[in-house]
Structure 1
Amino acid sequence: NAYNFMDGINGITGLYSIAVLVSLGWVNEYVQAFTSADFIVYPLLASLVFLFFNFRKRAKCFAGDVGSVGIAFWVVTLLLLLIIRTQDLIWLGFLMVYGVDAVCTILHRLYLKQNIMEAHRLHFYQIMANERKMPHRLVSVIYFVAQLVCSALLIALYPVMGWWIFIILALILMGFYTLKFGMMKKVSQ
């Protein structure tokens, strides 16, 4: 459901999906085959086509609940296949940027005693795009690049560092997440 929560600005779902699918494709090709490449290539192509219409200042189409949940199920299924094949949960790091934002936002809302089932605008990407008025496409690219970097570091450093690389990346992302609070203070002043 975090995938659906994070689908709130132009380009974010398409770009983030590409970051995850490219990472899965790399692992499937060069590290550990876990599925037919077609099961990665087809949603990758679909994401590119979707971005043609969505990665614009004024999007021509949106993923909506059906689209974001649909791609989420596809991505999670691929991740589960990889986890089952390798017997290793480290690959959950391919969802690390969305995961840290979603979990930290839920914790923030619980701290504020808000109903976490109701709509809100407290995700880091929402603060950047809506409150700080950063261009939506820039925020989407930031999330895309952040996930690509995390995934590349996981792939490259996990054999050497083990789970430490996951922990270090999660802590770094949580550190960046705290920037949200400074942005919120500047907006409220």
Structure 2
Amino acid sequence: MIYPILTLVFFLAMLAYFRIADHYNIIDHPNERSSHTEVTIRGGGVIFVFAALIILVLYPEFWLAITGIVIIGAISFLDDRLTLSSRLRLLFHLLAVTCMFCYLNIFQFEPLYIIPLLYIIVIGVVNMYNFMDGINGITGTYSLVVLGGLLYVNQNHILFIKNEMIWIPMLACLVFLFYNFRRKAKCFAGDVGSITIAFWIILLILRLIFVSGNWEYIMFLVVYGIDSVLTIIHRIILKQNIFKAHRLHFYQLMVNEYGMSHLWVAFGYALLQATIICLIIFNNLLTSPVLFCLVIVPLSIVYIILKLLLIKNNRNNLKILQKI
């Protein structure tokens, strides 16, 4: 009974936020790097922070994990509004990740050099997730698929956390998608949405990995990972500043240069990740190294080939992109 009630609460919260955003002019103006052309409400992803606060009320035992989620969500919302300095954002990201690590008991790990490495990995993945949030529906559908896979594992393979820690962000994703998975989106996630849900998902995946001892679950994010890493390599080859906004992600090329539907591209990313998640969950034959190779190597090769074909058939636009 609680889930239908929470769904209704999320809808009411979104409607309230739309009124607030409209009053305070919290909107996204398209620019030369955008994949949209119309002014749209920004920060609809604040629903994930709201979902975290609901969990804090219902299940206070997760206070440490939720504190991290709220910290990173709050600083991301402020950044959406004020464009904060990178140093200030990094400070709060470090604080949020520290809360996550305390919840996961990571500071008990040995050798100690693993801990700084984990800080870099977590903050890097959070920002990767944020960079992938560039078209309607992609953050919501991809997150829903990953959360669905985690829920299945939690219910059928190994109980690593309360189901509500997965169900509630899934409901928030569904409500957000109601307004975002449209040809003309009612709202965008903003940094507050993509960064907050990324942080939440990473927390769940790390929790699952530490409880199960199985690092294969890191591949629940492999589609985003390959697009992000290979795009960074591509930009380094082009001698671009990898910290500046761009339009060279594979999904951006498909949408911006070839006019493909935002929704179909977003659905394709989610479907591909769902397929890989099923392979991981139902694999009873392959060892972890073999499974890693069978997933990552072919996916990387296909990505490179398709991207080269896109670029070859659209060289004029690529020259423009290289200057952005």
TM range (shorter): over 0.9
Is residue 181 from structure 1 mapped to residue 312 from structure 2 by the alignment? no
Tell me if the contact between 1:7 and 1:13 (Cα under 8 Å) persists in the aligned partners. Answer: yes
Task: Find the residue that maps to 2:234 and give its secondary structure.
Answer: helix
Mean alpha-carbon deviation: is it higher for 145-154 or for 164-173? 164-173
- C-alpha separation in 2, matches of 1:2 and 1:54: 20
- C-alpha separation in 2, matches of 1:34 and 1:183: 42
One-letter amino acid of the structure 1 residue matched with residue 177 of structure 2: L
State the partner residue of 1:172. 298
Is residue 161 from structure 1 mapped to residue 286 from structure 2 by the alignment? yes
One-letter amino acid of the structure 2 residue matched with residue 181 of structure 1: L
State the partner residue of 1:16. 142
After TM superposition, the runs of 4+ consecutive aligned structure 1 residues lying more than 4 A away are: none
One-letter amino acid of the structure 2 residue matched with residue 3 of structure 1: Y
State the partner residue of 1:74. 200
What does 1:37-76 align with in structure 2 at a 5 Å threshold?
A: 37-76=163-202
* Match among 205, 229, 245 for residue 119 of structure 1: 245
Tell me if the contact between 1:2 and 1:99 (Cα under 8 Å) persists in the aligned partners. Answer: yes
Percentage of identical aligned residues = 48
- C-alpha separation in 2, matches of 1:137 and 1:61: 14
Q: What displacement does 1:81 show? A: 0.5
Q: What displacement does 1:173 show? A: 1.4
- C-alpha separation in 1, matches of 2:298 and 2:166: 28
State the partner residue of 1:91. 217
Q: What displacement does 1:166 show? A: 2.1
Return the index of the structure with the highest Cα Rg: 2
- C-alpha separation in 1, matches of 2:275 and 2:174: 20
Query: CA offsets, 1:98-118, max 9 Å, x none?
Result: 001001101111111111011
Which structure would you say has the larger RCO, counting Cα contacts within 8 Å and 6 or more residues apart?
1
- C-alpha separation in 1, matches of 2:302 and 2:292: 15
Q: What displacement does 1:188 show? A: 2.2
Query: CA offsets, 1:125-154, max 9 Å, x none?
Result: 101111111100000000010000000001
- C-alpha separation in 2, matches of 1:30 and 1:166: 23
Task: Find the residue that maps to 1:160 and give its secondary structure.
Answer: coil
Tell me if the contact between 1:27 and 1:33 (Cα under 8 Å) persists in the aligned partners. Answer: yes
One-letter amino acid of the structure 2 residue matched with residue 60 of structure 1: K
- C-alpha separation in 1, matches of 2:215 and 2:206: 9
- C-alpha separation in 2, matches of 1:46 and 1:22: 13
Query: CA offsets, 1:64-84, max 9 Å, x none?
Result: 111100000000000011011
One-letter amino acid of the structure 2 residue matched with residue 112 of structure 1: L
Gaps of 5+ in 1: none
How many residues align? The count is 188
